[in-house]
Amino acid sequence: MPKLTILHNPHQLDFKQLFDNLATDPRKGLTADEARSRLEEFGPNALQETKRESALTILLRQFTGVIVYILVAAAGISFFLGDTVEGVAILVVLLINAVTGFGLEWNARQSMDALRKLDSTPARVLRDGHVREIASEDVTVGDILVVEAGDLVAADANLFQVNQLQVNESALTGESLPVNKNTQIPADDAPLGDQHNRLFKGTAATDGNGRAIVTGIGQQTELGKIATMVEEAKRSATPLEEKLDALANVLIWVTVGLAVLFLIVGLIRGEEPLRLVETALALAIAAIPEGMSVVATIALAYGMLRLANKKVIVKRLSAVETLGGTNVIFTDKTGTLTQNRIEVNTIQLPNLWAEVQVEEGTKNLQVIAGNSEITDSDVFQKLVQVGVLCNNAEYDDDDGNFREVGDPVDVSLLKFARAVGLNPDAINLEYARRAEKAFSSDTRMMGTLHEHEDRYIVAVKGAVEEVMNRSVSLDEKARKAQYEIAEKMAADGLRTLAFAYREIDKTTRPGDDFADRDLTYLGLIGFLDPPQTEVTPSLEACRRAGIKVIMVTGDHPATALTIASKVKLIEPGEEIVLTGKDLKPIDQLRVDEKQNVLNCRVFARVSPAQKLDMIELYQHEGNIVGMTGDGVNDAPALKKSDIGIAMGLRGTQVAAETADIVLKDDSFTSIVAAIAQGRVIFENIRKFVLFLLSCNLSEIFVVTFAGFLNVGTPLLPLQILFINIVTDVFPALALGVGRENASLMERPPRDPKTPIMDTRDWQTVVLYALAMTASVLGTYVIGTRLLGLSQDEGNNLTFYALSFTQLMHVFNLHSERSFFINEITRNRYVWYAQMLCLAILAFTYFVPVLHEVLNIQPMTTTEFGLILAAGFAPVLLIQLVRLLARMMK
């Protein structure tokens, strides 16, 4: 047997080419020996598993980064200087941060497992002239695949025999309706959704049967290509992670500059080098916001719990904040903006038309446009009756338990009949079926023969031109008018079927062509996957919030544009849709072509690779991109986007495992709620970062200015570390779980390039830090110079003064006018944090073991008075500055 190769563009090859190229007998299939040989050559029909990072590798990666390196260096210096307790304390902080980061990364390992679960189904193939059931992994190139309704397709294959075969490809292409398969060769550039002569691995046959020759297995299938993209798609650091790292780097460079300056000045003065090194170590510890990552994690987790109550499951904590900063959302159509169910939408009789709505679970039909009297027409009643008779589906809604079996279009016709007030079961009993002419790709019609009293009734539905060509009740003018109406309905995104009937006297024996001639034309029905009722206000909320929503679907362009208009995703004048054929790779786009893509709001017939390109294009433009999806085809884009949002009800496990957020109710409204929560969380994070930075900077200033003023070392490194991880963290945490702010959704999203702290924020931080520094250093100088306290007693006084000053500083962070009634004073967690921190400070003073660790000394009433004054002074000063600023406006 000649060496085989995987075929390229197999949808363009005819049967003879396929069987010749793949050396397969269409009547007998492969022999057992040939199949075994090909399995050895091409490998099993399974997705390849790439080498994964071990748990140890993920854990070790948590110990990388500039902050970690500086803390390790600080711990090393502490051990070298004999400060064992201090060194151990620093290492404990490092361990807490590492464990937190490890937990967040562990979920990222799951998406490929979900993809591989699609490989475990059996498959039927033709081997040695007999149909045999084998494991899907053993299907190989050249096998003859036997597919029937209910089967999950085991490999990519070209059909050569089809009998009313329909396949649900929504997970791969996004197409709402099952696709009718045939053996005709499509256009060379046909997208996957239009390659009707092919079967794709992971899709499901819903009706009919067929045989196909396998052209691709494992990683060479379309599913395999998506799996490869999921593996290769790199998830960038979230904007929050990047901005927190940037903040830390700024602080580090500030500290390095101050430390170098401090060392130079000290050496010039002739001070003891060991003392200078100890002070530099204190500066390093003061600069590093050890608690920032812990506080950010807990604040995000609190937001995650809030979202869980709103049926939004967050898998990656930082994703909550990222969603709050999102300014572009790519959304699927089917099931996200629509209800993912087919319904009768438009009725077109020869002389009347109406747009109707059938409510799920009700026997009520609403005419929402057109001729309201259409339901009284005899032609309308006959059309509904034909829709019931020419139908092989089953639908039962008794006792509120819905049961649907069969083609979604046929099911929608039964629902339609019930809404009109007819009983499909009674109609079928009254009109006993005697024969059926099944739908085929050749006739594109279905007909059924029924016996009723003294005559036969023929019910027909099918493609518009085929039904009209067989209808004797239409003249040429009427036929042309109906055809133009059908074309317009199709252009509006409706799937259109024509209906007709025929009555035959019982004395005449109907022939095999009973459905092919002498028909009486009834009219057209247009079917549509209806939009979700709550989507429109949610999209309007996005528009007000400055968020651009873009539809990306594998469905038909006209259907996509229709839904976009109905839900008001696009405004009048924006009725532009680009298809996959219109999209070039981003590195080949001219400036004008790139602008056309960026201006478009609706994309149809888009492949998974093209979704990745569009996300990358918007990310290159500086946007934070969210992506919603539910299918296998969405998995790479969900991973590539800044925030992946999967549908939990109807979505595939692949999409759910790949995404950052899963919606339990599949509602676009939940996305908007999550965005609002994300904005609240970012505002809370901004507040506690402002708090932490001003506190840390005050520590740096205290140590540095004391050195420059040559008044001693007012704080020990371990005292600074204690303040950073106790009295800083709990108030910051209380700020991080503040109440919601509805006004945030009335503002445009913040510029993704803007750091957490802008210039004005940094000015505020410096002002806060200087106020606290002046108060604490003043207290230290008063204690050591006026009260005659020793160096250890001065350290003691400064430690408690700075701790209490920072606790009181939290009340400076309010944004409302009133100092006494604002979002800080209304936040009960702030008061809990204050009480807890005061209790901890009390323990440090009264518990003997803490005396030794923190070098605590006994204090007098005067010293306690100085500490209270130091805490209240900066608050009074800041409020006075704010008052003067408001008066000057």
Q: Report the catalytic residues.
A: 332
Measured distance CA(800)–CA(558) in Å, rounded? 70
Measured distance CA(831)–CA(834) in Å, rounded? 5
Q: Are 137 and 46 in contact (CB under 8 A)?
A: yes
Continuous segment of H or E residues that includes residue 808: helix 791-809
Measured distance CA(711)–CA(732) in Å, rounded? 31
DSSP one-letter string for 259-320:
HHHHHHHHHHHT--HHHHHHHHHHHHHHHS-TTHHHHHHHHHHHHHHHHHHTTEEESSTHHH
Please state at what angle helix 791-809 crosses helix 861-888, rounded to 10 degrees. Answer: 40
Measured distance CA(460)–CA(447) in Å, rounded? 4
Overall residue count recorded for the chain in this entry? 889
Measured distance CA(546)–CA(773) in Å, rounded? 41
Tokens read off for 429: 């009993």
Comparing CA positions, the residue from 712, 688, 702, 704 lying closest to residue 812 is 688
Measured distance CA(7)–CA(120) in Å, rounded? 25
If DSSP states are collapsed to H, E and C, what string results for 833-881? HHHHHHHHHHHHHHCHHHHHHHCCCCCCHHHHHHHHHHHHHHHHHHHHH
Tokens read off for 201: 């691995």
Measured distance CA(199)–CA(213) in Å, rounded? 9
Comparing CA positions, the residue from 100, 61, 67 lying closest to residue 298 is 100
Measured distance CA(551)–CA(555) in Å, rounded? 11
Measured distance CA(504)–CA(531) in Å, rounded? 42
Measured distance CA(46)–CA(140) in Å, rounded? 10
Alpha helices in 14-167 (DSSP H): 15-21, 32-42, 55-61, 66-80, 84-106, 111-116
Continuous segment of H or E residues that includes residue 418: helix 408-420
Torsion sign across C-alpha atoms 482, 485, 490, 495: negative
- Residue 134 DSSP SS3: strand
Comparing CA positions, the residue from 436, 425, 485 lying closest to residue 458 is 436
Q: At which residue do the structure tokens 């009133």 appear? A: 818
Q: Are 431 and 450 in contact (CB under 8 A)?
A: yes
Largest CA distance in the chain: 126
Query: Which of 367-382 are b and which e, b meaning 16 or more Cβ less than 10 Å from the residue's Cβ?
Result: eeeebeebbebebbeb
Taking residue 620's Cβ as centre, other Cβ atoms within 10 Å add up to: 10
Tokens read off for 657: 């495992």
Taking residue 116's Cβ as centre, other Cβ atoms within 10 Å add up to: 14
If DSSP states are collapsed to H, E and C, what string results for 219-250? HHCHHHHHHHHHHHCCCCCCHHHHHHHHHHHH
Query: What is the Cα 718 distance to its own chain's centre?
Result: 44
Measured distance CA(81)–CA(73) in Å, rounded? 12
Beta-strand relationship, 625-629 and 643-647? parallel
